Amino acid sequence: MAISQARAETLRRLRSAAGRLSTAALRGLDADYGWFRELPAQERSWVGTVAQAGIDSFVAWYADPQHSHRNAIEVFGAAPPELMRSVSLQHTLSIVRTVVRVVEAHADEFASPGSERDVREAILVYSREIAFSAAEVYARAAESRGAWDARLEALVVDALVRGQVDDDLPSRAAALGWKPGPTLAMVGMTDGTLGEVQSAELRRALRRTSPGALVGIHGEDLVVIARSDDDHDALAKALLPLFGPGPVVTGPAAITLVEVARATRAAMSGVAAAPAWALAPRPAAADDLLPERVLVGDTAARERLVAIAYDPIQSAGGALGETIATYLDCGRSLETAARTMFVHANTVRYRLRKVAQITGWDVLSTRDAHVLETAFALGRLRDSRRGLL
């Protein structure tokens, strides 16, 4: 496309002044912005590359305005993607303003006689183009980062659900902002099958309640891994309305990723087992569902139940183990157990209180008696197998 002689002369002057304008722009950034002065040398050089590319792009745009969008996008392609992690969109727009201001301040030097107004108008139009381009580049970077984070989050949550904590998992979790500390694992159901938009809305709602939480949506299973120093009971209560109908289970206390994986698997098992306990609370603790989890084949639950509800009683010695076993076998009757053991009923009652102090389960409570009865059945089966070896 042919251009006027005056425009051609301006273009020639612009091209010869590009280096000086770039240097002036960097001086302006250094004088006006503390954040620029504090950048490491490599990032400063990247900003200089962008400033130079901005000026070169303006020259190319002035020569052929029809390619303005392409040239403006290329300005930000001149620097590596890492620049967008060290320089914010606000700072990038400051770079744009500085470059435009420098070019405008020197307009009279490179504008051919009579074309000063035309050059100033061109600068204004181009500054709008470059500003929109910056916003577009950062929006694409944010979208790409969001998609990457979503994939990474899915990998981390899936690994925790499967209990596969390899050497790479800590770094992946750290990239999502997770760090070792008190962590709540909470599992339940979504409110039916969710579409992409509904899933995104649910994730945002969960993170508003627990900032930084890792969220996994597997079909209708909803897994929330919330790192929080606050009270976990209160946090679970706050998260509960965001789950759909059905059981909701929280895992045991966890700090490290290995513990979080165990807690997550315990909560998953608890959700599967909860229907066996008609009066299960919502949310229920995974450890409160140990007998039901044993029924669904959870070997970790079987081992934990024996370890915390059977072994401590046996280790205490005396007649505690015999007393509770007899009490349970006698239909939970104090008098029948006392007659069977040839002791007073108050002796049986005293021993049962000792069991409650040791284990935290009161065998005089129907639910606690069920837990201890299951633990003793499992413990005696284990001991019998050991005796055969």
**Region 230-251: what's the mean pLDDT?**
94
Q: By mean pLDDT, which of 79-83, 196-200, 248-252, 284-288 is the weakest?
A: 79-83
pLDDT over 90 for what percent of the chain? 30
Q: By mean pLDDT, which of 81-85, 168-172, 213-217, 382-386 is the weakest?
A: 81-85
Name the pTM for this structure.
0.62
pLDDT (0 to 100) of residue 302: 95
pLDDT (0 to 100) of residue 2: 44
Comma-separated ranges of CATH 1.10.10.2840 domains in the chain: 310-388
Comma-separated ranges of CATH 3.30.70.2730 domains in the chain: 176-287
d(Cα 191, Cα 243) in Å, to the nearest integer? Answer: 7
For the purposes of burial, counting CB atoms within 10 Å of the CB of 335, is it exposed (0-12), middle (13-18) or buried (19 or more)? Answer: exposed
Cα-based torsion angle of the residue sequence 192, 193, 195, 200 in order, rounded to the nearest 10 degrees: 60
pLDDT (0 to 100) of residue 82: 56
d(Cα 218, Cα 171) in Å, to the nearest integer? Answer: 23
Q: Which CATH architecture has domain 310-388?
A: Orthogonal Bundle (1.10)
Considering only residues 389 and 136, tell me which one the structure prediction assigns the higher pLDDT: 136
Q: By mean pLDDT, which of 65-79, 306-320, 332-346 is the weakest?
A: 65-79
Are 116 and 61 spatial neighbours (Cβ–Cβ below 8 Å)? no
How far is CA 21 from each of CA 14, 95, 125, 322, rounded to the nearest angstrom? 9, 13, 19, 92
Confirm or reject CATH 3.30.70.2730 for domain 176-287, answering yes or no.
yes
pLDDT (0 to 100) of residue 236: 95
| Residue 1 banded pLDDT, cuts 50, 70, 90 | very low
